[in-house]
Amino acid sequence: MQKNTRTRRWGRVLAAAVTALIGAVVLTANVVHVVRAEGRISALRAHGRRVPGDAEIVRHCSGGRFTECSTTSVWLDFRDGRGIPVTAVEPRLATSLYVPAGPADADGRVRTTVVYDPAAPEEAQAAGALDWGPLDLAGHRWFAFAVGLVLAGAGAVALLSENGSGGR
């Protein structure tokens, strides 16, 4: 009987450790996304060129009783410093898109300021995204952070309670 109790205890300890580890991995991945996005924004703030441009906002709408639309991509059209036309899809920052707001023209394009790195104009960003800080970026990922915190916390509490029980 003692072996069965010991096996169950180690099973609970292992499950708690795995839960805490998964939570830590989820939190780490989210922090990495936010840090990378903040680094990209900081680089564009420091070295990016600002030019006038247009944003074409592509939305996907679900059908059914309650139609809901979400932005799937933002295409930026602008001329680089040499006057060459560039069309670029806006990269996501920490899995979020910055969607320029304002009145649209007859073609559905919104006038905006575009910021780009002359070495990589195809990775342009709408200038409004440069106002995002780390907390804004983390806020866009609030659910993933919450899941990571819950898993890490639950696993840690379970580990501590198992270690505190002394195998009783």
- As a whole number, mean pLDDT of residues 77-98 equals 88
Least confident of 13-17, 23-27, 87-91, 147-151: 13-17
Q: Residue 3's pLDDT is what?
A: 64
What is the extent of the structural domain holding 125? 2-165
Structure tokens at 44: 């564009």
Give the count of beta carbons closer than 10 Å to the beta carbon of residue 111: 13
Q: At 107, is the pLDDT very low, low, confident or very high (cuts 50, 70, 90)?
A: confident
Output the six-digit token pair for 58.
């592509």
Q: Which is more confident, 50 or 62?
A: 50
**Mean pLDDT, the chain, as a whole number?**
85
Q: Above 90 in pLDDT, residue 77?
A: yes
pLDDT tops 70 at residue 23: yes
The number of folded domains in the chain is 1
Of residues 3 and 68, the one with the higher pLDDT is 68
| 88 φ, ψ (degrees, to nearest 5) | -140, 140
Q: Residue 164 — very low, low, confident or very high, per pLDDT cuts 50/70/90? A: low
Instruction: Assess whether pLDDT exceeds 90 at residue 85.
Output: yes
Contact 111/54 with Cβ under 8 angstroms?
yes
CA 60 remoteness from chain centre: 19
pLDDT at 116: 93
Cα(135)–Cα(158) distance, rounded to whole angstroms? 30
Question: Residue 144 half-sphere exposure, CB side, CA atoms within 13 Å?
Answer: 18
pLDDT at res. 37: 86
Q: Which long-range contacts (CB under 8 A, 24 or more apart) does 69-73 make?
A: 71/97, 71/99, 73/97
Q: Region 31-40: what's the mean pLDDT?
A: 88
Pairing of strands 109-117, 120-126: antiparallel
